[in-house]
Chain A
């Protein structure tokens, strides 16, 4: 699978490093709380999905932790910028690490690629530190010499656990 993908990528002139660079950039925007810039990484039809059960099939038929289209993302970010967002007083500090990257699908005709990776996010806020970890899948669409996110799906290993308030995207 990985080998086949690499061959395809070589054919299209894209290598793994381009995807890796993009995911690192995305994680960095989140860690720097540049949420508007982060939102701009998404295509107009892009969605951000964090399911609430493992292997969840649909964001419509079941509850999710997050399922934002661009409009909801905008509302979420406006709230994150609001001076009276109590759950971000003080704000969260996060550190993401993204690795184990595999290009899972390529569709040259559409210029779309699915990239799977593993992430860890450490969050610190108000004297408490906690850990989020899981797999993520980015469906990316070629956009000039970079990409736009068609969907970012984050599968937390504890997605069906009970969470204390989560204010920032993972």
Chain B
């Protein structure tokens, strides 16, 4: 892969398999940075992280360092974190507050909309010095849906609505659980890294096939996982204890795809109605008070387990969090996981959710650690040149339309969602930026 011709890209993805080079080829990774991360709508952050004018966070979109900052007029700006003078990263902390963003090197300072504000020793600037052209570069397009901020680094391409539209219901599903109708991502973050390609984590978030074996160590002798939600007395039944087989309820789980690489899995196995704790009962009462009993019952009926907004963001509805998958190199990936506070819910309920997330998704968790091991071993195995193809054919041809959600439906233990991701991948990759 030297030039990324459309024909070369197309040979890497077949209906039921992908070539190992999509995980191991550094040239393909460079092309992904340009053609996917250089133009797709990417999740940047949540509006609750920048509540007041001057509040900012920093992150990376692909390999582009960016600042997400609240401007004086209340709008959220996504600025490239690179001084327009000599190129130094301007903001060096992960979050903070500032009236102006000032570069450490020569002291150029920028307003929170990116405009160049002051330059030390201005008399040194020549006659042609164009202050207006020397602001911090801005992401050409920014879109916000219910507090979730996305940006595209390309000025053209599918609109925000086209990209995110099919997933708005998934965002609603989560946000509506907050009695006040808003979320707060203000409870810190989990950060983990692994020596493997970014797509290994992306493929994993909607993979229900791996759970009975990959997470066997989290399943007790009765075949039940530990409780993963505030108020649950026990977790989901994953294995039929006597036969030591994947439980029927697990096999029946569904997954859905809606184009653009997006998808989700349904949540069909958790015993609802058996969920109770003082905090959870109080939450149910508050929610019903705010939105009415009927709507509260609807909101509390589990529908979505995990959603993927392609290419690199996921929302988990079970132990609620936002996940951002950050490619660093072809074989190195960082993942950031943000606990979610449901605004208006009892503090004890939010505390419970934050605590449970430690044991499911911290770098030291019971669940995520076995996934990380699988990703690392996949990257090692994929070095083999004796076998070039990765099989993603489970359920190929078994997909069916789902009229209720206007999506395509398959079993969650199939690999339909992975095939959908590669369809989107080819779509981005075969077109020159």
User: With a CB–CB cut-off of 8 A, which chain A residues contact B362?
Assistant: 52, 63-66
Contact with B along A44-70 (1 / 0, CB 8 A): 000000101100100111111111100
CB closest chain-A residue, reference B362: A65
Of B194, B213, B364, B374, the contact of A166 (CB 8 Å cutoff): B364
Distance in angstroms between the alpha carbons of A166 and B193 in the assembled complex: 11
- Residue pair B187, A62 in contact (C-beta under 8 Å): yes
A72 on the B face (CB < 8 A): yes
Number of A residues, CB within 8 Å of B: 33
Of A59, A86, A163, the contact of B217 (CB 8 Å cutoff): A86
Q: What is the predominant secondary structure among interface residues of chain A facing chain B? A: loop
Distance in angstroms between the alpha carbons of A18 and B220 in the assembled complex: 39
- Residue pair A164, B372 in contact (C-beta under 8 Å): yes
User: With a CB–CB cut-off of 8 A, which chain B residues contact A53?
Assistant: 188
- Residue pair A162, B226 in contact (C-beta under 8 Å): no
- Residue pair B372, A165 in contact (C-beta under 8 Å): yes
B426 shortest CB reach to chain A, Å: 30
Most-contacted residue by chain A among B193, B214, B366 (CB, 10 A): B366
User: With a CB–CB cut-off of 8 A, which chain A residues contact B89?
Assistant: none
B190 shortest CB reach to chain A, Å: 5
A110 on the B face (CB < 8 A): no
A122 shortest CB reach to chain B, Å: 17
User: With a CB–CB cut-off of 8 A, which chain B residues contact A162?
Assistant: 191-193, 334, 363
Which one of B2-10, B72-80, B353-361, B416-424 is at the interface? B353-361
CB closest chain-A residue, reference B334: A162
User: With a CB–CB cut-off of 8 A, which chain A residues contact B334?
Assistant: 162
B84 on the A face (CB < 8 A): no
B312 shortest CB reach to chain A, Å: 16
A121 shortest CB reach to chain B, Å: 13
- Residue pair B372, A63 in contact (C-beta under 8 Å): no
Which one of A27-35, A75-83, A98-106, A144-152 is at the interface? A75-83
With A50-B364, A82-B216, A86-B374 as known contacts, state yes or no: A63 contacts B369, CB within 8 Å.
no
Interface, chain A (partner B; CB < 8 A) = 50, 52-53, 56, 59-68, 72, 75-76, 78-79, 82, 84-87, 89, 160-167
